[in-house]
Chains A and B, each alone.
Chain A
């Protein structure tokens, strides 16, 4: 039990599909993040929400759309993805959006775009 739960664990979708990734944290944290992890590349920060407000959009294409309805839940809505979007998508949370709060990660969603 990591305290940060991501569903689904695996997702295969076609380029015309619409799907959503879900993240829930049980740690009472106020900041939540989406990261993209591709093989042998550094983790790429996609979005940051701090107290439900989006504070970072790291030049992510509009085919990725985040949603944070409350401090415990984070979604990543996907539509018209490209094969190069296949990757492990990691959700993380931290106590707040400051540099002294360590990140707690979920186990990720392995996304394959066909």
Chain B
């Protein structure tokens, strides 16, 4: 079974600064990888996904993530953070070997943006 670790519970970043959120997974092969964002009072919204191919994937809202097989990581980045990026971010892992869509989610990283 796959598992996900998001080492940072809370990150504070200044508006305009860069942001990197860490995600490490445990799985015996290359999994499906996702980042979701949850704004206060909202459900989760898909930011980007990786299935195969180019290890650098672009998502919505100016986010990108890089898959590194050697490090079992899928870190999320944004070059310049906006105040509206304050939210909770979830990394998720899925198995490509099953027809069942069972995602394993990390516990989330809360991002605070200061002016």
- A residues sitting closer than 8 Å to B (CB atoms) are 2, 4, 6, 31, 33, 40-43, 45, 48, 55-56, 90, 92, 94, 96-108
- B residues sitting closer than 8 Å to A (CB atoms) are 4, 9, 32, 34, 36, 41-46, 49, 51, 90, 94-96, 98-108
Residues of B near A6 (CB, < 8 A) are 43
Residues of B near A106 (CB, < 8 A) are 43
Which one of A56, A94, A100 lies within 8 Å of B32 (CB-CB)? Answer: A100
The chain B residue with its CB closest to the CB of A95 is B101
Residues of B near A90 (CB, < 8 A) are 43-44
Asked if A99 meets B32 with Cβ closer than 8 Å, knowing A42-B107, A56-B100, A56-B102, the reply is yes
Closest CB in chain A relative to B67 CB, distance in Å: 15
Which one of B43, B100, B108 lies within 8 Å of A48 (CB-CB)? Answer: B100
- For the residues of A in contact with B, the DSSP-based class is loop
Q: Which of A33, A56, A98 has the most CB of B within 10 A?
A: A98
Which one of B41, B42, B98 lies within 8 Å of A99 (CB-CB)? Answer: B98
- Asked if B100 contacts A107 (CB within 8 A), the reply is no
Closest CB in chain B relative to A49 CB, distance in Å: 11
- Asked if B43 contacts A45 (CB within 8 A), the reply is no
Closest CB in chain A relative to B79 CB, distance in Å: 24
Closest CB in chain B relative to A7 CB, distance in Å: 13
Residues of B near A55 (CB, < 8 A) are 100
Residues of B near A96 (CB, < 8 A) are 101
The chain A residue with its CB closest to the CB of B90 is A43
Compute how far the CA of A2 lies from the CA of B4 in the bound complex, rounded to whole angstroms: 26
Residues of B near A108 (CB, < 8 A) are 42-43
- Asked if B103 contacts A103 (CB within 8 A), the reply is yes
- Asked if A97 contacts B101 (CB within 8 A), the reply is yes
The chain B residue with its CB closest to the CB of A58 is B102
- Report 27 cross-chain contacts, Cβ distance below 8 Å, ordered by A residue: A2-B42, A4-B43, A6-B43, A40-B9, A41-B107, A42-B4, A42-B104, A42-B108, A43-B44, A45-B102, A55-B100, A56-B102, A90-B43, A90-B44, A92-B43, A96-B101, A97-B101, A98-B99, A99-B32, A99-B94, A99-B96, A100-B32, A102-B46, A103-B46, A106-B43, A107-B43, A108-B43
